[in-house]
Amino acid sequence: MIRMEAIGAAGLAPILGLRVGGDQRDFVAPNDQSLIEAWLALAHHGQAFPFGLWDGDTPVGFCMIGFGTDDEWTDAPAIAQGSYNIWRLMIDARYQGRGYGRAAMERILAWIRTWPCGPAERCWLSYEPENTAAKALYASFGFRETGEWDGDEVIAALELTPPDQQIRPVTEADRAFWLTLDRHLDAEAFSRKVRERTGYVLNADGAPAGLLRWSLFWDSIPFCNLLAIREDRRGQGHGRALVRCWEQAMRTAGFGLVMTSTQADEAAQGFWRRLGYRDCGSFILPFPGWEQPAELMLAKPLEAET
């Protein structure tokens, strides 16, 4: 009955023409304001996904989904870190009372569970305390108020069910799998990773799917040397899950900064930047036998848990 369509130039004007009823205008921002907020979030390394809601050729509403925070959101609630957010949802006044709001929520949650920004434990949203209709709709999908506030709006959250993932330190039993993805370690170096517990293996659906190994840069800063996912399991959020697990372990161990690097001609730099890593330098190796494109260095401060 309803579909979500990413907003492009052709579909922009009909979505901008949608309005809620007069008694709801204090509860929902206009769609042009929402799109400006999406642009600002993206400009500051955030994630925003605006969609038009359509029934056939008829535009009936608008929604916007976010993930995490951006560089300018200085007072973000704690739940925003690493969580999906239903940032906006509106149904035009002419089409309310026809089940579009519920149908839109079903589509939104199904889209979130494709993990476009990687798996997450929770999805959250916020609403004015007086917006009893929104509260009832969200509660019917399992959203529960957390006691947090986003400005003057109440926050409610839904626990998401991630894919079957298990991340654990590497063991000797992982040798055969590990060496299929990591061509840089010899047998002794692999055994050293096991002894020092400086590697992780991710199992998905009962089988090994990826790995991460790290060491200390300058003997003081955790540095991810390799992140590798089995080719048939890529695009499913496993890389993000490994990085988050590693970051959490480093945070728990008392480190305040983590680093990694990637060649300038590799697409991986975009992956790391989306996770909050920032460029902090580069180097080249112009020596015979060691030549390669410039190596980009990236780093990310680890904030203390709240």
Residue 20: per-residue pLDDT: 86
Residue 145 and residue 112 in one domain:
yes
Q: Are residues 140 and 241 in the same domain?
A: no
Backbone angles phi, psi at 125, to 5 degrees: -155, 175
Model pLDDT for residues 247-299, shown as the tens digit of each residue? 888 887 889 999 999 999 988 998 999 888 999 999 998 899 888 899 999 99
Closest CA to 144 of 133, 130, 155, 128: 155
Cα distance between residue 208 and residue 255, in whole Å: 28
Same-domain pairing of 110 and 233: no
Residue 292 domain flag: yes
Task: Tell me, yes or no, whether 231 and 183 share the same domain.
Answer: yes
Kindly state the tokens that stand for 169. 């330190």
3-state secondary structure of 233: helix
Does residue 98 fall inside a structural domain?
A: yes
Q: Are residues 54 and 94 in the same domain?
A: yes
pLDDT score of 100: 93
Amino acid at 232: D
User: In this structure, are 98 and 181 located in the same domain?
Assistant: no
Number of domains in the chain: 2
CATH number at residue 216: 3.40.630.30
pLDDT tens-digit series, residues 65-106? 999 999 999 889 999 999 999 999 999 999 999 999 999 999
Give the list of residues 6+ apart from residue 86 with CB closer than 8 angstroms, or none.
63, 65, 108, 123, 124, 125
- My answer on whether 116 and 53 are in the same domain is yes
Query: Which residues does 290 contact at the CB level (< 8 Å), separation at least 6?
Result: none
Whole-number Å distance between alpha carbons of 216 and 295: 18
Q: Is residue 306, in this structure, part of any structural domain at all?
A: no
What is the gyration radius of the CA atoms in the chain, in angstroms? 22
pLDDT above 60 for 239: yes
Residue matched to tokens 């060649």: 263
Q: Do 79 and 157 touch, CB atoms closer than 8 A?
A: yes
Query: Which tokens in the block code for residue 33?
Result: 């304001």
Distance CA(219)–CA(32), nearest Å, equals 50
Give the domain-ending residue among 159, 182, 207.
159
Q: Report the alpha-carbon distance of residue 192 to residue 215 in Å, rounded.
A: 11
**Same domain assignment for residues 267 and 155:** no
Q: Are residues 84 and 173 in the same domain?
A: no
Are residues 230 and 148 both part of a single domain?
A: no
- Do both 136 and 247 map to the same domain? no
Which of 131, 159, 187 is where one domain is finished? 159
Does residue 76 lie in a domain region? yes
Mean pLDDT of the chain: 90
End-to-end CA distance of the chain: 42
pTM for this structure? 0.56
Verify that 172 and 277 share a domain, yes or no.
yes
Q: Which domain holds residue 280?
A: 165-301
More confident residue, 252 or 228: 228
Residues facing 217 on adjacent strands: 221
Hunting for tokens 């089988």 — which residue is that? 207
Domain boundary, last residue among 98, 124, 159: 159
